[in-house]
Amino acid sequence: MYKKSIAELSQGLASGEFSSAELTRTYLDRIETHSAGLNALISVTADEAMAAAQLADQTRQAGNAGLLTGVPLIHKDIFCTEGVKTSCGSKMLDNFIAPYDATVVASCKAAGMPMLGKANMDEFAMGSSNETSFYGPVKNPWNIETVPGGSSGGSAAVVAARLAPIATGTDTGGSIRQPAALCGITGLKPTYGRVSRYGMIAFASSLDQAGPMTRSAEDAAWLLNIMAGFDARDSTSVERDVPDYTATLNDDLQGLKIGLPKEYFGEGLDADVGRVVDAAIKQYQQMGAELVDISLPNSHLSVPTYYVVAPAECSSNLSRFDGVRFGYRCKDPQDLEDLYKRSRGEGFGAEVKRRIMMGTYALSAGYYDAYYLKAQQLRQLISDDFKQAFEKVDVIMGPTAPDVAFKLGAKASDPVSMYLSDIYTIATNLAGLPGMSIPAGFVAGDKGDMPVGLQIIGNYFDESRLLNVAHQYQQETDWHTRIPQGFE
């Protein structure tokens, strides 16, 4: 059962081939067997999952089942889940039991989808390797000596290892797409505002966006149908009709114009990764698409712009974690100042502290105009580049990451090198555009082949086209069906 797509699982449940209880137990057994070696889960909610599966079976027997009723999933531990620990991968929230469900969680629950557990992640979603988690690093199923990418590395790892058919993730600067590429799965970051952020613990409010992490584009379309939509409780949510993302999956690609930014294929891109991406793009050409050379001249400003905007917003958002109302509190504080200092000093990890300090500095008196305001101006230039490009092309393609998964600890002492892991993904967040990564092939490594991701970027609210473009490629290739050795 664990090798089936979501559509196949839905059909199997509808036909009575298996029950949701049987399906959910299959995945829980795989979690019990494989999860410890990957460190991909913070919480396993076996009892809750089985209860939800039995309820889903009753719903189906009563004739009230939806398409995803009874299909289990895993949520990234950044989404509030009522009665279940929501830690954000941090010591600060190690004792926090959420009193309500995030909108994404509530939507999946309303669809009858049992939650298997909560996925490990970089602390407060700050990282590109899933090594900053208070609970230890997640390991890549393709080679457990390498990183799975971050911050949604746990979600990527469980889908790649088939410990769950689907998982949710969040993307602030590439945190769905980059781990999807490094783990050989499909990951979609929707347009900013397409999916509710209510109950998703904030890192950088103008950048964060939730999305599906799945085996295939078809699976992503099924889950996005559940996740997308307006939410009055989220001030950044866009009031716009949600199409059926599965309706146009099979449209042909004749005449599709694919933009190839020259900035994405130059210095810094690993030669082997470049060859895999080139081969994938040529496959599109054979399917009837037209290749168009374009330029995104301000893309080189993406990383420095992001690392002013995101830390500034994280400095503001994380000020609520002060040891007073919830979360970690230091022992025996001498006074209120001591409580604040030691609770935050002991509760946050090194990378989170680094970004808080960077952001606080950028927002401080005398530096706001020089840094934060200037970064927002550059952000507009980056967005304008995309607008001009989409006047000529339908989608933009390039590598998701400059290299395949690197060794655990290889970049831990070099934050700048780590930040450059997201060099091809950050601009999409700054512009608020939708983007996705799909498996495009493999590069030979020391201990087996490692996956490479192809990034596809679309115009605002054009997720249907992205999913169609990705699905058509996956109809012609089988990269997305590959399972890491030891997890078959």
Cα-trace Rg, the chain: 21
Rounded Cα gap, residues 89 and 119, in angstroms: 9
Q: What is the DSSP letter of 459?
A: S
Of 20, 155, 175, 196, catalytic: 175
- Helix H or strand E encompassing 395: strand 395-399
Q: Of the candidates 294, 352, 273, which has an alpha carbon nearest to the alpha carbon of residue 87?
A: 352
206 among known catalytic residues: no
Of 20, 43, 151, 237, catalytic: 151
Amino acid at 306: Y
Rounded Cα gap, residues 67 and 56, in angstroms: 11
Q: How far apart are the first and last CA of the chain?
A: 11
Question: What 3-state DSSP class applies to 126?
Answer: coil
Q: Which residues contact 165 (CB under 8 A, 6 or more apart)?
A: 2, 4, 5, 6, 9, 27, 71, 72, 73, 159, 214, 215, 219
Rounded Cα gap, residues 382 and 95, in angstroms: 40
Q: How far is residue 97 from each of residues 81, 100, 114, 122, 368, measured CA to CA in Å?
A: 8, 9, 19, 19, 36
- Within 10 angstroms of residue 447's Cβ, the number of other Cβ atoms is 11
Of 20, 43, 76, 302, catalytic: 76
151 among known catalytic residues: yes
Return the active site residues: 76, 151, 175
